[in-house]
Amino acid sequence: MLKVLLSTRKCSSFVSRMRYVDRLKQDDDACSAALQTGRMFLFHRLNPLLQNTERGTFRPATLTCSDVQSVLENLGADGSLLKESVLIGCSEQNQAEFCLDVGRLDQAAVEEMVTGSFVDLRKSFFLLSGAEAPLVAKGQALLRWHQTSGFSSATGQPTRRNQAGSQRVCSSSGIISYPTMCPVVIVLVSDGTRCVLGRQAAFPRGMYSALAGFCDMGESLEEALCREVAEEVGLEVLSVSYSSSQHWPFPHSSFMLGCHASVSPAHTQLIVDRSELEDARWFSLQEVMSALQVKPRRGDPPPLWLPPKHAIAHRLITEWTQLMQTVS
Ligand SMILES: NC(=O)C1=CN([C@@H]2O[C@H](COP(=O)(O)OP(=O)(O)OC[C@H]3O[C@@H](n4cnc5c(N)ncnc54)[C@H](OP(=O)(O)O)[C@@H]3O)[C@@H](O)[C@H]2O)C=CC1
Ligand SMILES: [Mg+2]
């Protein structure tokens, strides 16, 4: 059985934070009160607001509720916009965290007032480090869901959100809807000495990644994995082991389930589905290890370029190189 070591965090504070967030999702009044003292991440048309740090890196701008109120007042906006904030979590200092899209305001005017820039999420995601990138991605995913869920798909009638923004209720039928993610399996296939990496035509030049595909309705993770590997590269998987998961915001919210898979070294011929992949190949441990050392830079791309650290594909590839080194 698989055991994933999470962390050595202090259990009691983690439990109380999770219970606090859960209460804010259930209790609109408690959530409105938390908003007054919470931290706020601003977005403009789904682009997060980033600020430069003294070290020349970037971080998402975090404002207080009163900071945002003064921005709204100064720009002549209706203060009720604050009510559109969506709860995204709770900091280790027990401060509730919200995000808000101010896309109705003039972008340049907001940027000037808060000394920051609204940056496309694809770019922001790779400029941020640690826990900030997933938090910003979560905020954007929830804001996008609200922006596209104003009407019930069952009745066509308007929906109303709760204060936390964790659900919407159809005004005519009372049907509750929740934010959705699409499950995607991502897998690094190995024959014991090499691994398969593929590239879509839309990837940056020279970049190869682990194989990935959306799970079909009714499939288990293992079934989706075996089907995708068969469809995309024509291999039959013999065994699967789970690694980890990740919320992936591009192009919309996917729930990436990362696995390793093995195939028989006697059956390794690739039959690539060219409608899905521009290319797929077997790569040796040496090729992959060299590619992991490459730093992205302008100019001619290296022969093999791997997904960046934030991507679960990077993690799968790193895990595989570590495993290969321990067995060789
Ligand atoms: N974080 C990471 O490390 C990585 C993440 N990814 C992500 O994995 C996801 C899936 O990979 P990809 O290889 O494109 O998937 P697939 O191999 O499943 O191919 C995509 C095709 O699947 C069809 N499809 C089926 N269900 C869905 C759905 N729910 N949403 C969208 N398309 C669907 C579409 O076909 P049609 O248009 O014909 O209907 C689409 O063109 C992508 O979002 C990609 O960004 C990929 C690699 C690395
Ligand atoms: Mg695919």
Task: Give residue 154's pLDDT band: very low, low, confident or very high (50, 70, 90).
Answer: very high
Q: Which residues neighbour ligand 2 (ion) by CB within 5 Å?
A: 212-213
| Other Cβ atoms within 10 Å of 288 Cβ, number | 21
Which pLDDT value is given to residue 245?
Answer: 97
* Ligand 1, atom nearest to 307 Cα: 3
Residue type for position 174 = G
At residue 4 the predicted structure's pLDDT band, cuts being 50, 70 and 90, is: low
Q: What is the pLDDT of residue 2?
A: 65
**Neighbour count for residue 80 (Cβ, 10 Å):** 8
Q: Is the pLDDT of residue 1 over 80?
A: no
For residues 315 and 243, the answer to whether their CB atoms sit within 8 Å is: yes
Please tell me the total number of residues recorded for the chain in this structure: 328
23-63 pLDDT tens trace = 999 999 999 999 999 999 999 999 999 999 888 889 999 89
Residue 114 carries which DSSP code?
Answer: H
Give the chain's mean pLDDT.
93
Largest Cα–Cα distance of the chain, in whole Å? 70
Q: Which residue CA neighbors atom 8 of ligand 1 most closely?
A: 212
State mean pLDDT over 243-260.
95
Share of the chain above pLDDT 70, in %: 95
Calculate how far, in angstroms, residue 179's C-alpha sits from the geometric centre of ligand 2.
24
The pLDDT-based confidence of 72 (bands split at 50, 70, 90) is: very high
Determine what percent of the chain falls in helix, strand and coil, rounding each to the nearest 5: 35, 25, 40
From the list 59, 291, 315, the residue with the least C-alpha distance to 186 is 315
- Please give the pLDDT value at position 118: 97
Give the separation between CA 116 and CA 319, rounded to whole angstroms. 37
Residue with CA closest to ligand 1 atom 46:
212
Give the SS3 label for residue 288: helix
- Residue 250 in contact with ligand 1 by CB distance below 6 A: yes
pLDDT interval class at 324 (50, 70, 90): very high
Q: How far apart are CA 105 and CA 61, in angstroms?
A: 17
Nearest CA to ligand 1 atom 28: 214
Closest CA to 309 of 295, 323, 299: 295
Mutate to test the pocket of ligand 1, among 122, 126, 184 (most ligand atoms within 8 A of CB): 184
Which of 270, 271, 294 lies closest to 283, judged by CA? 270
Pocket perturbation via mutation, ligand 1, pick of 214, 277, 306 by most ligand atoms within 8 A of CB: 214
Q: What is the ipTM of this complex?
A: 0.94
Is the shortest distance between the CB of 280 and ligand 1 below 6 Å? no
Q: What confidence score (pLDDT) does residue 302 get? A: 78
The single-letter DSSP state of residue 86 is: E
